[in-house]
Structure 1
Amino acid sequence: MSRRADRPLFERARYAAAGYVWLFALMIGAALFSQAASAHEVRPAYLSIQEEAPNEYSVLFKTPMRGNARLALTALFSGRIETVTPVVSRPNDDAMVQTWRMRTLEPLAGQNVLVDGLQNTMTDALVHMVFANGDSWTARLTPGSPSATIPASHSAWAVFSTYVRQGIEHIAFGLDHLLFVTALMLIVRDRLKLVKAITAFTLAHSITLSCATLGWITLPSKPVELMVALSIVMVAAEIVRMERGETSLAITSPWTVAFAFGLLHGFGFAGALVDLGLPRSNVPLALLAFNVGVELGQLAFVAALSAAAIAGRRVFVLPRRAIAATAYAIGIVATFWSFGRMEAMVL
């Protein structure tokens, strides 16, 4: 029997996973040096319409910003609308928040709502409407379909499915969170420890995501983003120590480190959800759905990486130094992020 066949399946998967990380690092490098504005466009716009009195509505429209300029998006309705108060605009981190009140001269139900300019972007727009009778409606507009018809009422399922999709998309574009999970997979030596570490990470960031979104605990977003990047650097350093034969708490009990850093990453998820906006009438449901979406996206990533690693063992076997080299690659990328985010805090 060959030496490769003697090697435990999970151990071979770890070495094959290292090859994937190199590709992953190249993808991140390309993203880092791309136009900064493109990253902002991934964040969705949010349009909230609340019926305060018969045919009178308060409107909140949040749009992503590029530097000091917001995306050229406008909320339009197909029926006759009167704006009864001036539009008040205020910047909020990387978004512009506009609020106003309007009066409809014909029922809003049955009208089309259009986010004009969305077709020229790479982002989506969430529209959430609450009627005076408590009914609500949520829709996701895209560049290919920037308008929708407002029904008289809508089911809670639409809110749930919309925010699940947003959670999945957030984790898919959250390269820092995915890189942290990848580093965890490289530092863990058996399946049971990996399950414990991923479970601890999931539980921890679910706790802080819920607490921060509900306003029970708040932390400034920029320091949180910096600490998320530094957490990746620290895990990468632990991988190198492990490959040198050294030991530490992170190496012997990776779930403890995963839990601690998971609490930190949860604040990062919460910042994205706050930027997205929550429907005032369905905050618990939207929070649950977003959390479910994040977990589904994370599990899909772990499953895809594991499947690719196991399949790759039949094609190549990387030398043992590849794990340490991969850790250095992860650390370099995360260090680059750290300096960039530190600079953003100062400016």
Structure 2
Amino acid sequence: MSFFGTMQRVPRNRLMLVFGLLALSFCFGVDAFAHNVAEGDKGYIQESSGVLFFPFVYLGAKHMVTGYDHLLFLFGVIFFLYRMKHIAIYVTLFAVGHSTTMLFGVLTGISANAYIIDAIIGLSVVYKALDNLGAFQRWFGVQPNTKAATLVFGFFHGFGLATKIIEFEISPDGLLANLIAFNIGVEIGQLLALAAILILMGFWRRTSSFMRHAFAANTILMAAGFVLVGYQLVGFAVA
């Protein structure tokens, strides 16, 4: 029996419980799903002037470590990756995409509606969960290029952050240096978060429950992505 077929044996009531809990989270805690920079950090960014290398490294690392949407996508990307060289390739593609559009967007002042960009970021989480479940191969008989998809969604993740930074009207004095520092911090935060995820995944993969619960884990991941999309679309509709 295929992986997808085996995973379909997960009890339906368990999946309903998962969706129910996520629905409750959406109804009673929508503020927690806002892809945003903390108010204190926002004020600091707006008031800063000149080159502030280490503070912006810290802000970048903090953004990544607390950026649930980025972490959910990375979790999905490495879910079935076992070799470090494969993990390095995918994480590098994501980092290149993220860094390129973040720097390009801020330096050129090109932005888009933040709700739409963040909805696409939520869709990236849904895509990766479906990809892990083998849904595209099963439904359409094709397998998307996962490396290309990781790079493309990295572009959207970076553009989403650029859109937020542009809204802060950051001082042009020291802008390039501060953006580079921020981006370095983002990559440091990504490595720290990735290390923690890999350690936990390493322990989980050694247990017999990993394959039994892989379907449920990716279903939760997919549902979380849909909740992110729904929140952003509601925000777009009422803005």
- In the alignment, the residues of structure 2 paired with residue 172 and residue 325 of structure 1 have an alpha-carbon distance, to the nearest angstrom, of 24
- When the two chains are superposed, the root-mean-square deviation of aligned CA atoms in Å is 3.1
Structure 2 length-normalised TM:
0.77
Partner of 1:229: 122
Larger radius of gyration: 1
Aligned residues with identical type, % of pairs: 22
CA distance 1:176–1:282, shift in 2 (3 Å): same
Higher strand share: 1
SS for the counterpart of 2:189 is: helix
Contact in 2 for aligned 1:46/1:277 (Cα 8 Å): no
Partner of 2:66: 173
Partner of 1:337: 228
1:264 lines up with 2:156 in the alignment: yes
Cα shift at 1:340: 1.5
Partner of 1:34: 29
Partner of 2:170: 278
Partner of 1:192: 85
Cα shift at 1:234: 1.1
Aligned pairs for 1:110-189 (under 5 A) are: 127-129=47-49, 136=50, 156=51, 159-189=52-82
Deviations 1:67-122 (A, max 9, x none): xxxxxxxxxxxxxxxxxxxxxxxxxxxxxxxxxxxxxxxxxxxxxxxxxxxxxxxx
CA distance 1:193–1:46, shift in 2 (3 Å): closer
Partner of 1:43: 39
Structure 1 alignment gaps of length 5 or more: 1-24, 48-123, 130-135, 137-155
Aligned residues: 215
- In the alignment, the residues of structure 2 paired with residue 267 and residue 312 of structure 1 have an alpha-carbon distance, to the nearest angstrom, of 33
CA distance 1:243–1:313, shift in 2 (3 Å): farther
Contact in 1 for aligned 2:64/2:190 (Cα 8 Å): yes
Higher helix share: 2
- In the alignment, the residues of structure 1 paired with residue 173 and residue 192 of structure 2 have an alpha-carbon distance, to the nearest angstrom, of 30
| Letter in structure 2 aligned against 1:210 | L
Partner of 2:9: none
Structure 2 alignment gaps of length 5 or more: 1-17
SS for the counterpart of 1:218 is: coil
- In the alignment, the residues of structure 1 paired with residue 210 and residue 198 of structure 2 have an alpha-carbon distance, to the nearest angstrom, of 19
SS for the counterpart of 1:330 is: helix
CA distance 1:244–1:218, shift in 2 (3 Å): closer
Structure 1 length-normalised TM:
0.55
Contact in 1 for aligned 2:33/2:228 (Cα 8 Å): no
Aligned pairs for 1:40-79 (under 5 A) are: 42-44=38-40
Partner of 1:148: none
The match for 2:102 among 184, 204, 209 is 209
Cα shift at 1:324: 1.9
Contact in 1 for aligned 2:111/2:162 (Cα 8 Å): no
Contact in 1 for aligned 2:93/2:154 (Cα 8 Å): yes
Partner of 2:134: 241
Cα shift at 1:325: 1.7
CA distance 1:321–1:308, shift in 2 (3 Å): closer
| Letter in structure 2 aligned against 1:237 | L
Cα shift at 1:201: 0.6
